[in-house]
Amino acid sequence: MPFGLVKALRRLRPSPLVPEHRPIERIAADLRRVRRSRACFGPGVSATKKIGARQAYDALLVQACAALGVEHRLGELPEGVEREVERFRVETRLHDLGLST
């Protein structure tokens, strides 16, 4: 069989399905871990560490929303009250869908 034909046949072969996101169980476990670490921050923790943990938590919420098809505006809203309200709304919606955060 000519080499060019072999390459063409390989391209026609279906590729294995790759999940669009990490397993929801892993996302939920990471959400719980980051949430616990944020709750344990004492008064002496730097603002940089607090901001980083909040951004990590939001990124995990976005992953959970993508996995479960939940609309959100976490990437659009600046830090502040509106984003806190959106974060709470997303957490509540994910909880209603059975995700333990």
pLDDT in tens, 1-52: 555 665 665 666 665 665 677 999 999 999 999 999 999 998 899 999 999 9
Per-domain residue ranges of the chain? 20-96
29: tokens are 């476990």
> What pTM was computed for the model?
0.78
Cβ atoms of 48 and 71 closer than 8 Å = no
Q: What was the pLDDT predicted at 10?
A: 63
Which residues have a Cβ under 8 Å from the Cβ of 94 and sit 6 or more positions away? Answer: 61, 64, 65, 68, 70, 101
pLDDT of residue 8: 63
